[in-house]
Amino acid sequence: MTSTAPDFFTDEQTRRLYATDASSYEELPKAVAFPETTREVIDIVTYARRQGLSLTARGAGTSLAGQTTGGGIVMDIGRNMNRIINIDAQKQEALVQPGVIRDTLNREASRHNLLFGPDTATTNRCMLGGMIGNNSCGLFSIKHKTTREHVLEIETVLSDGSKAVFKPLSQTELAAKMELDSLEGQIYREMTGLLREHSDRILANYPHPEIIRRNTGYALDRLCEMAPFTEGGRPFNLAELLCGSEGTLAMTTSAKVKLVSEDPAHVMLVPHFSSIRAAMEATVEAVETGPAAVELVDDIILNATKGNIEQQKNRFFLQGEPKGILIIQFDGKNISRLKAKAQRLADKLQKRNLTSSAALITDPEKIDRVWQLRKAGLGLLMGLGSKGRTPTFCEDTAVRVPDLPDYVDDFQRILDRHNANCVFYAHASVGELHLRPVINLKEKDEIQKMKTMAGEIADLVRSYRGSLSGEHGDGRARAPYIEKVLGTEMMPLLRRVKQIWDPGNIFNPGKIVNPKPMEQDLRYSPAYQPPEVDTQFNWRKEESFADALELCNGAGVCRKLADSGGTMCPSYMATREEKDSTRGRANLFRQLFSGRQQEAFRSGELRDALDLCLSCKACKSECPANVDMARMKAEFMQGWHEDKGISPGERFFGQAARIYPLAGIWPRLSNWMMRQPAVKEVLQQWLGIDKRRDLPAFAPQPFMEWYQKRSKSSDPRRRGSAQANDLQSLPETAGGGQKVVLLIDIFTNYHDPEIARAAVRFLEATGHQIIIPGFHELGRPQLSKGMVKHAKKVLDQNLPRLATYANRGFPIVGLEPSEILTLRDEYLDLCDDEQLTSAEMVAAQSFTFEEFARKVLSAASNNTPPPSGTRKVYIHGHCHAKALIGNSATRQALQLSGYETDVLQTGCCGMAGSFGYEKDHYEVSMDIGELTLFPAVRSLPDEALVCAPGFSCRHQISDGVGKRAWHPAELMAERVGIGN
């Protein structure tokens, strides 16, 4: 394909990346474009029209009904057209490009105590262009209504390549528009003519006007409410029609949106229910009190939070095992009045026997955590596995709030008739529930069941004069059933609207009118071939590698930016390219392995997409579906190595234990040589080590050498310590005190022995007898380089010895988080079935140093107060620790040692083991550091203490900011008065 500006990307990888969104559909486009300006959008539209290609606009790709999939050109406006052009605080308006993320706009607007009201579950990555296309609403739609109410005007490119701005028009301005000799003029003439002729029929057939969220078809009923069609109506504004048109009428290039003032006070009430019916009856009562939000979450989602690392901590408010909960928020200026209102509602619900318990929450941080749990709902559903998959074909219906209880009962009767289970959640305050029946799209009978149920549900919605789509749009999933809801006589009008605006049918065809069958182009279907490949990991939790590849549903949480917090996905945060997101990589995995099976291990496309994956593990916790891309990458790279071989650089970093003993013999010589420009040049050419980096220096004396000499000392405190290859070398009663196995990784031994010395002295000072095993590696470097078979050999050697310690009840403590957490993570899937019991026992007895220190100091704190002389420590957490156990152990252990702590809101440091040392990754590594870590550390006072448990993190901080970061063991040893 050739073109003028901008470039079209037609390579297989890019097309695959844009073949899916968050829906059930997958359609390979012919090309993808990334416009930077309105002029380039015009060029793309013009090219598509001349070539007869469809054009689908796309922001974050979080659409649930297939709106952002298309077989022609997919135009990603998010990568480049993402500027906030202006915020006018006085007028409470913002002018934005369509790729601006909603939360990004609100962070800027919050400086003026303003916000853009619509608050979808995807606000940390969804974009204003997509919100306009879907007329998004979100959690607070009873308060803020829909995007439509907040859009003042929209600048567009029409289907002939011309520009037009749609905004409120006076009668004189409307008349002038109708005189234009252009497509814009024709649109005004024909649209007003259509409305004059059919307004009565439109208002009679469209959803009930009391339903706030009604997006079925084109919003003709909204236009009928305007002047001149309704006397005294608001000014005529076709921007309201574009909101919810799903990119089928025009391409948005900018929008002026209304901002609203923030309420300072918030109170949350969370009543628990034994049935969904009771929750719906309570919703009717709650809405009468004027809440800002009323959200339903059922037991299926609540149970899914139990197995999600990120959401487990957000379950603090739950009492027992309810069938469902309502999250009710009251906003205002006086918190006492809000609390009183919430309590009155709670009393009323209890008096009516609708609920027996209700949590009242006023702490802002806790309120935010409850909303985090609610927003994770969609992704959590995918974590249920293939047997619990809930495709989005009827999840967006809306009825009047008073009709909700009966509507839910009627819906349940449809489910019972088809022997189907269903998830119930979302926006009860405005009569919209996300009702997601469990359907297995891989089975032909289940697809037929879905189609039959879709028809019956559409009939049910019609009987309540409801809306088939509340905000997610009609799209591929619901467009075939619009006729059932609006009536046969409305379809010619909808097709006429499309013809008026887009006579060539190039803009996102088939998403509202003239749809394909709903079962066509499904991501999963009877034709889907799950991969059957040989793997090194057992994939026990997921049940198989094939199931692991299907976890990602496209919700796109991995596309959040650094300002939104969290760690996932650091490479995407730096590059903002879809291929560098967890979703992009997961899509390529599924597409390639299902199509090519074992051959996919040779895929250069997938190898390229995985190149910037730091294996940080953040996706394992922050992704609602718990996609573990680090493990998937290791699995793929093992297969890649078997075909392509292992590079010298991969061997150098993956098998450092073979090289370090030699370099450690002459540490000063090794250090001198590694800093010589000529040697650096050789290392860059041979091993790919960027010459701008200094490799970590070797210590004059490795820890093990120091420890062996020290263990011979006659100091009574040290008699219990020993280096042991097995338990037989350590007497049962030697030294007294609890025995602790201290694992010394190779990097601590050769580079940072002072950390291990501090740990030893801390443990001795707290009365422990230390066992130092005679090995340094657990397999982490091998896993990070995809040398999984090598890691398995390490496991086979270490597991029996570690199991012997664990079996005796000895804690196994590690200083490097990624090393020790390998025992609790990968070992459980890397071991054979006959090794699993031992691996589980070892995992249960394994602790990071901070976890163990917290336990020890907590027990001691009952008798001994923490040391005096408080000093503040700023903590940067290690990625693996944050993903698997969190930062609380480090924070609490330091507090028990007498420090005041502040956990820095930093994501990944960007070093990630060897990643930041490699020539091809150096720039990205530093870019990641600059996202949050480097600015946070630079902002600290010069004398500030920075704590970083991770070896890589400490070196990245040193390289990027020039500041020393300390291991917790060093800081805690100092506080017990024993120094280093």
Q: How far apart are CA 206 and CA 29, in angstroms?
A: 34
How many Cα atoms within 13 Å fall on the side-chain side of residue 613?
31
Residues 810 and 780: beta-carbon distance below 8 Å:
no
**DSSP string across 337-371:** HHHHHHHHHHHHHHHTTS-S-EEEE--HHHHHHHH
Work out the percent of the chain whose per-residue pLDDT is above 70: 95
Quickly list H helices, 866-950: 879-884, 888-896, 922-931, 933-938
Q: What is the mean pLDDT of the chain?
A: 93
Distance CA 282, CA 297 (A): 13
On the question of pLDDT at 377 being above 80, the answer is no
User: Could you tell me the residue ranges of all domains in the chain?
Assistant: 8-76, 265-441+461-483, 545-645, 703-851, 854-975
Q: What is the CATH number of domain 854-975?
A: 3.40.50
In the predicted model, is pLDDT for residue 554 greater than 50?
yes
Q: What is the pLDDT of residues 947-972, one digit of tens each?
A: 999 999 999 999 999 999 999 999 99
**356 confidence band (pLDDT: 50, 70, 90):** confident
Question: Model pTM greater than 0.75?
Answer: yes
Residue type (1 letter), 664: G
Q: Is the pLDDT of residue 147 over 60?
A: yes
pLDDT digits (tens, 9 = 90+) for 403-424: 999 999 999 999 999 999 998 9
Residue 612 has pLDDT above 60, yes or no: yes
Q: Is the pLDDT confidence value at 596 over 80?
A: yes
So what's the pLDDT on residue 977? 54
Q: Lowest mean pLDDT: which of 540-549, 675-684, 715-724, 894-903?
A: 715-724
Give a three-class secondary structure readout of 713-780: CCCHHHCCCEEECCHHHCCCCCCCCEEEEEECCHHHHHCCHHHHHHHHHHHHHCCEEEEEECCCCCCH
Whether the predicted pLDDT of 597 surpasses 80: yes
* Nearest alpha carbon to residue 960 among 919, 916, 905: 916
**Mean pLDDT of all residues in 485-497:** 97
Q: Amino acid letter at 320?
A: G
Neighbours of 809 (CB within 10 A): 9
Residue 622 has pLDDT above 50, yes or no: yes
Of 249-258, 311-320, 422-431, 704-713, the range with the highest mean pLDDT is: 249-258
**Mean pLDDT, residues 459-476 taken together:** 95
- In this prediction, residue 860 carries a pLDDT of 80
In tens, the pLDDT along 308-346 reads: 777 888 999 999 999 999 999 999 999 999 999 999 999
CB count in 10 Å sphere of residue 841: 16
Range 464-476 average pLDDT: 94
296 contacts: CB under 8 Å, gap ≥ 6: 276, 279, 283, 324, 325, 326, 327, 424, 425, 426, 427, 428, 433
Assess if CATH 1.10.3470 describes domain 703-851. no
Mean pLDDT of 449-463: 96
pLDDT at residue 776, as a whole number: 85
Instruction: Express as a percent the part of the chain with pLDDT over 90.
Output: 87
Give the residue-averaged pLDDT of 247-251. 98
Confidence (pLDDT) at 664 = 82
Q: How many residues are given for the chain? A: 980
> SS in 3 state form for 580-640?
HCHHHHHHHHHHHHHHHHHHHHHCHHHHHHHCCCCCCCHHHHHCCCCCCHHHHHHHHHHHH
Q: Which CATH number fits domain 265-441+461-483: 3.30.70.2190, 3.10.450.30, 3.40.50.1820, 2.60.40.3140?
A: 3.30.70.2190
- Hey, what are 455's tokens? 């028809």
Give pLDDT, residue 388: 60
| Band of residue 532 on the pLDDT scale cut at 50, 70, 90 | very high
Q: What is the mean pLDDT of residues 241-246?
A: 97
Whether 808 shows a pLDDT value over 90: the answer reads yes
Inform me whether the pLDDT recorded for 603 exceeds 70: yes
Can you tell me the distance from the alpha carbon of 762 to that of 972, in angstroms, rounded to the nearest whole number? 7
The crossing angle, in degrees rounded to 10, of helices 491-501 and 183-205 is: 160
Confidence band of 306 (pLDDT split at 50, 70, 90): confident
Over 50: is that where the pLDDT of 802 sits?
A: yes
Please report the pLDDT score of residue 361 as a whole number.
97
Most confident of 173-177, 296-300, 591-595: 173-177
Q: What is the DSSP letter of 927?
A: H
Q: What pLDDT, on a 0 to 100 scale, did the predictor assign at position 815? A: 98
Which helix H or strand E contains 842, and what residues bound it?
A: helix 836-844
pLDDT at 979 over 50: no
Q: What is the pLDDT of residue 2?
A: 44
- Mean per-residue pLDDT, 389-398: 88
CATH of domain 8-76: 3.30.43.10
Reported as a pLDDT band with limits 50, 70 and 90, residue 553 is confident
Which segment of 178-182, 265-269, 548-552 scores lowest on mean pLDDT?
Answer: 548-552
Amino acid at 617: K
Residue 724 has pLDDT above 70, yes or no: no
Q: What is the mean pLDDT of residues 869-888?
A: 92
- The confidence score (pLDDT) of residue 732 equals 36
User: Is the separation of the CB atoms in 29 and 18 below 8 Å?
Assistant: yes
Distance separating alpha carbons of residues 606 and 600, to the nearest angstrom = 8
Q: What is the dihedral of CA 809, 810, 813, 819, to 10 degrees?
A: -70
Quote the CA–CA distance of 597 and 75 in Å, as a whole number: 30
Which amino acid, residue 1?
M
Report which of 110, 126, 11, 109 is spatially closest to residue 67, judged by C-alpha positions: 126
Q: What is the DSSP letter of 292?
A: S
User: Are residues 215 and 135 in contact, defined by beta-carbon separation less than 8 angstroms?
Assistant: yes
Determine contact, residues 8/15, Cβ cutoff 8 Å: no
